[in-house]
Every structure is written in structure tokens, then in C-alpha cells.
């Protein structure tokens, strides 16, 4: 218990220092010491309950079910309009199988003939109905362009009000290795590309440390728009943007995802467990290996932690070499 508390305090301290490093202003928290009597946090409550969240945004499993909604092989071969998952990302209802706006617009007849067909192939363990556990990523037939088109000039959350550019995922679309960060900072916001600032330069070195180049990997963030003052994205903002990342992951199908820092890890994996505990051990995300490690911005602040990230990256390298 005492030990868990100390870990919690250590994680909280790291988190606070990290946020300060990122330039978060008006921090309403006293730095605690690993002493319960001094532990005082004024506002760490998320601004929206999970329940409320669920009413607005599709869960990962619902998204994957939507991705698995596929047209018949015949229509793919003939380059017919694809079943899209347009609706799934609009914070409204999920698309019904085989009846999406794009199909109706593009080819109403084709839609009718496929009315009663079930999706052709879902991944091995995809359930056919809601409520069961989806264990592997479905094969997506979307392209990254189609996902970007769907994102459009996004106004799904209020981060759109202060952003300059939407920062889309970037890199090799057939990558075995993907990196996921938290959200763009000022440099990324200005350029419209992920990890181009100081943290990005360190990320490039991390990539090179395992014998790869930046062009070899795919890089994205849970959130695509810069939060004001680099604050942490709220749970609703993260949940609103994440489905697009999930769709990209289903397109790229990397063998490993390295998730950078506490916020990205917790938002991607849907966990409250902190990075200090999770890093260094492969986690599973619908059949994809996920390695949580420290965020490069955090490593810039505390270079002594680079050793741990190096250990984590060696595990990633070894896994990729034998996979």
C-alpha cells in the first residue's frame, strides 16, 4: 500500500514536471512528496465521466467493428465504392453494416444488392455482434488519404479554435514500427507535421538508435490539434480524436507501436496505470504489441531516464528482428 502510494506520488511528480516542461501554465497542484500527509491535489478530476464520454464517442471495439464492415470481394476487385466508416468518427451513431452514406451517394443500386450481405471477412476473432471482446485488428480497406478526407477541416472538438494546422500522422504507411505521441506542440502546430520540434529531434535519435530512419516508421499523436498552452488533452478531446488513429493503425498494421509518455499511453490503452509502471513491458492493443516508454520531451528534461528508454527500444528492436 505504502509502496503503491510512493509509486503514485512518483508518477504524479513526473507528470507535473513533465507538464511544466511542456509549458503548461496556471498549474493548480502542489508538488507532493512521498509522504501521505502532504499529498494534496486540488484538481485532478477529469471534466467528463466515462459514462458521458461513451454517449458521444465510439469505443475502440465499436470502431473496430465499424472498420471491419467491408464490401464484398467483387466490389473491391471492380474498384467499386468502398464501405466507409464515415459516420463512426462523427460522434454520432455508428454506421450500420453495409449502409453508409458514401455507398448510398456513390452507388445506390450496388448498395441495394448488398443490403443483406454480411461483412465479408472480419479478423479471426472479431465478434459478429456487440458486447464480445475484439482481440485483433480487422483488416481495413481504407487508405490514409480517405481518413484525412474524413477528418477534413475538423471541428469535432474545441481544440480546432486555437490550432493553426491539423497535425496528421506521417511516415511510412507500411511501417512495422509506429510511434504515438500525445498532441502537437507549437512547432508541430505551425508546420502541420508531428514531432518536428526538440522532442522530435530526440525521437529521430531514438529511432536511429535501433538502426532505423525516420522515413521507415509511421508517427502519429492521439490528438491532432495543439491544446492551448500545451495543456493535456481532456478525456473527451482524446476520445474524439483517437478513432482516426485507430483507423490508421488498422491501415498500417504495424508490428509494434511505441507509445510515448504517460498521456499517450493512458489514452491509447485506455488505462489509468502510469508510465513508470507500464514502460518496458510489451502491452497488447488488439493483437498489436505496444511498448510504452518515456516521452522524448520528458527525456530532454531528465536525460538520466534515457537509459530506460534505450532498454525499451532494444526490446522493440529484438522483437522486430525476430518477428
Binding mask 197-236 for ligand URA (x = CB under 6 A): --xx--------------------x---------------
Is residue 240 within 8 Å of residue 57, measured between CB atoms? yes
Q: Would you call 293 exposed, middle or buried from its count of C-beta atoms within 10 A (0-12, 13-18, 19+)?
A: buried
When asked if residue 181 is in the footprint of ligand URA (CB under 6 A), the reply is yes
261 binds ligand URA (CB under 6 A): yes
How many Cβ atoms from other residues are within 10 Å of residue 279's Cβ?
21
Of the candidate spans 37-45, 122-130, 156-164, 188-196, the one that interacts with ligand URA by CB under 6 A turns out to be 188-196
Question: Least distance in Å: CB of 176 to ligand URA?
Answer: 21
Q: Which is closer to ligand URA, CB of 142 or CB of 182?
A: 182
Q: Are 241 and 227 in contact (CB under 8 A)?
A: no
278 binds ligand URA (CB under 6 A): no
Q: What is the number of residues in the chain? A: 323
Q: What is the DSSP string of 217-250?
A: SEEEES--SPPGGGPPPPHHHHHHHHHHHHHHHH
Least distance in angstroms from the C-beta of 293 to ligand URA: 7
Q: Is residue 298 a contact point for ligand URA (CB under 6 A)?
A: yes
Location of C-alpha cell 455507398: 103
CB 52 within 8 A of CB 67: no
Cα–Cα distance for residue pair 202/28, rounded to 1 Å? 29
What minimum distance in Å lies between the beta carbon of 168 and ligand URA? 11
Residue 67 or residue 275: which is nearer to ligand URA going by CB?
275
Applying CB under 6 A, which of residues 262, 268, 283, 290 lies at the interface with ligand URA? 262
| Residues forming the site for ligand URA (CB under 6 A) | 14-15, 18, 181-185, 188, 194-195, 199-200, 221, 261-263, 275, 294-295, 297-298
Amino acid at each position: 500500500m505504502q509502496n503503491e502510494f510512493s509509486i503514485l506520488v512518483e508518477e504524479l511528480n513526473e507528470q507535473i514536471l513533465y507538464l511544466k516542461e511542456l509549458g503548461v501554465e496556471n498549474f493548480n497542484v502542489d508538488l507532493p512528496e512521498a509522504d501521505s500527509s502532504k499529498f494534496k491535489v486540488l484538481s485532478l478530476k477529469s471534466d467528463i465521466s466515462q459514462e458521458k464520454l461513451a454517449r458521444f464517442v465510439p469505443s475502440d471495439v465499436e470502431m473496430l467493428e465499424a472498420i471491419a464492415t467491408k464490401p464484398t470481394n467483387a466490389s473491391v476487385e471492380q474498384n467499386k465504392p468502398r464501405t466507409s466508416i464515415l459516420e463512426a468518427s462523427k460522434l454520432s451513431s455508428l454506421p450500420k453494416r453495409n449502409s453508409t452514406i458514401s455507398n448510398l451517394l456513390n452507388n445506390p443500386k450496388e448498395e441495394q444488392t448488398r443490403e443483406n450481405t454480411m461483412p465479408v471477412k472480419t479478423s479471426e476473432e472479431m465478434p459478429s455482434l456487440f458486447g464480445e471482446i475484439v482481440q485483433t485488428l480487422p483488416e481495413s480497406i481504407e487508405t490514409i488519404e480517405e481518413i484525412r478526407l474524413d477528418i477534413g477541416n475538423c471541428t469535432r472538438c474545441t481544440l480546432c479554435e486555437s490550432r493553426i494546422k491539423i497535425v496528421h500522422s506521417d511516415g511510412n504507411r507500411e511501417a512495422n514500427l509506429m510511434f504515438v505521441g500525445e498532441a502537437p506542440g507549437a512547432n508541430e502546430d505551425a508546420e502541420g507535421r508531428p514531432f518536428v520540434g526538440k522532442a522530435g529531434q530526440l525521437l529521430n535519435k531514438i529511432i536511429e538508435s535501433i538502426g532505423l530512419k525516420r522515413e521507415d516508421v509511421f508517427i502519429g499523436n492521439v490528438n491532432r490539434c495543439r491544446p492551448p498552452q500545451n495543456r493535456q488533452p481532456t478525456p473527451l478531446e482524446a476520445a474524439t480524436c483517437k478513432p482516426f488513429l485507430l483507423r490508421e493503425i488498422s491501415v498500417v498494421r504495424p508490428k509494434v507501436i511505441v507509445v510515448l509518455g504517460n498521456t499517450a499511453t493512458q489514452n491509447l490503452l485506455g488505462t489509468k496505470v502510469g508510465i513508470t509502471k507500464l514502460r518496458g513491458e510489451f502491452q497488447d492493443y488488439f493483437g498489436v504489441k505496444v511498448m510504452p516508454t518515456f516521452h522524448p520531451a520528458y527525456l530532454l528534461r531528465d536525460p538520466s531516464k534515457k537509459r530506460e528508454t534505450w532498454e525499451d527500444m532494444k526490446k522493440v528492436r529484438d522483437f522486430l528482428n525476430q518477428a
